[in-house]
């Protein structure tokens, strides 16, 4: 069994580093310039809240690959679960831009052969090629 969640740093490294820099800069500014401590702490708290919300979103989304099926889970407070048997998988696609390839992330789209033509999609998957190889191990090709 393998659990996969969207990456934070690999998916958006400049945003991640920028938020961390704002947290650090706000705290340093609060210590170095006591008259403006409120603004520095406010910036740090705002950046920490943004990082926390981003983390909750990544924790609420994920794929679980077992030896019989793929389970797609979405939502942290509200849950939505979809299960796909390997026998029902018609197509597995990996979509990567140039920067995605450099950072080792991508979007995986799994199409089924069901009546309603369901698809499962997840963005910012770390090492998507390894996940496709794992899925191919259990699929009847």
The string of pLDDT tens digits covering residues 64-92 is 999 999 999 998 888 889 888 988 888 89
List Cβ neighbours of 85 (8 Å cut-off, separation of 6 or more).
68, 69
pLDDT of residue 120: 87
Tokens of 56: 């909750």
Distance CA 110, CA 122 (A): 9
* Residues recorded for the chain: 141
Asked if the model's pLDDT at residue 46 lies above 90, the reply is yes
What residue has token string 């500014």?
29
């Amino acid at each position: 069994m393998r659990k996969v969640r969207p990456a934070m740093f690999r998916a958006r490294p400049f945003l991640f580093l920028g938020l961390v820099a704002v947290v650090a800069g706000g705290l340093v500014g609060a210590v170095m310039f006591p008259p403006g401590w409120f603004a520095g702490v406010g910036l740090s708290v705002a950046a920490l809240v943004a990082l926390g919300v981003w983390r909750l979103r990544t924790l609420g989304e994920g794929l679980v690959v077992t030896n019989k099926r793929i389970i797609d889970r979405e939502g942290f407070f509200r849950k939505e679960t979809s299960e796909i048997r390997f026998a029902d998988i018609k197509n597995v696609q990996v979509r990567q831009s140039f920067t995605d390839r450099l950072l080792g992330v991508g979007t995986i789209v799994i199409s089924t052969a069901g009546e309603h033509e369901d698809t499962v999609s997840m963005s910012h998957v770390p090492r998507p090629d390894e996940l496709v190889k794992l899925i191919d191990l259990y699929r009847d090709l």
